[in-house]
Amino acid sequence: MRVLFVQQDHVSPPGPLGEGFAERGYDVEEFLVVPPERFAQPGIDVTFPDPAAFDAIVPMGAPWSVYDTARIDPWISAELEFLRRADEAGVPVLGVCFGGQALAAAHGGQVVRAARPEFGWLRVDTDDPSLIDPGPWFEWHSDQWQLPPGAVELARTGSASQAFVLRRNLGVQFHPELTAAQLQGWLDNGGAGQLVAQGVDPGEILADTQRRAGDAAGRSRQLVHRFLDRVAVAAAAG
């Protein structure tokens, strides 16, 4: 079995999500959308692979906005079509933050600016804790989705929807893949300035992430198992 992690940028590795798939016997493969040398100018042509060649797909987070087509087209349009083709082929998709927003947009929802950005470790209000644990989960987003037709919201905070399911697709707004090393990569690539602008201390958020690393990784691997056992086996697109 093969799972494809769609890495929008070079500082968002699979982390414990990849470990969770590996525990279930999946070969973990990675597809990098924007290479390091184009990070500042991400509007490039990208040819996505055939989604039907994989048994699961995980589109990851990104520092950009799904709706910022002037900056990230033509690849964002190609990625949304890639996600629609995965759904048509019955390939389960676990969308993470930007990836969850892209999943919503691909199936008729919208992505809009959030009224309040969220940064750091937050608990979520979950309707199905056997699928979406209350956390805490790591948040880093300034946008949010509006649900696509037919989607069922599973979790939320006071600021944004946090999880939805649609057929074999699960979108989460938080970052279950996060590790302290990954967070350091974000901070080193412009994230520290973004946090400071929002009144958040990068050092404190990094130290908090280091303290929570073990428990967070366990929750993340468990999320993969639940996704495979509950969502990946749902009815495919008609």
Residues in Cβ contact with 12 at an 8 Å cutoff, skipping those fewer than 6 apart: 60, 61, 62, 177, 182, 185
* Beta carbons of 124 and 151 less than 8 angstroms apart: no
Q: In what order do the strands lie in the sheet with 93-96?
A: 27-32, 2-7, 56-59, 93-96, 169-172, 161-166, 152-156, 125-126
Active site residues: 97, 175, 177
Q: How far apart are the first and last CA of the chain?
A: 24
State both tokens at 30: 């990675």
Segment (H or E) for 163 = strand 161-166
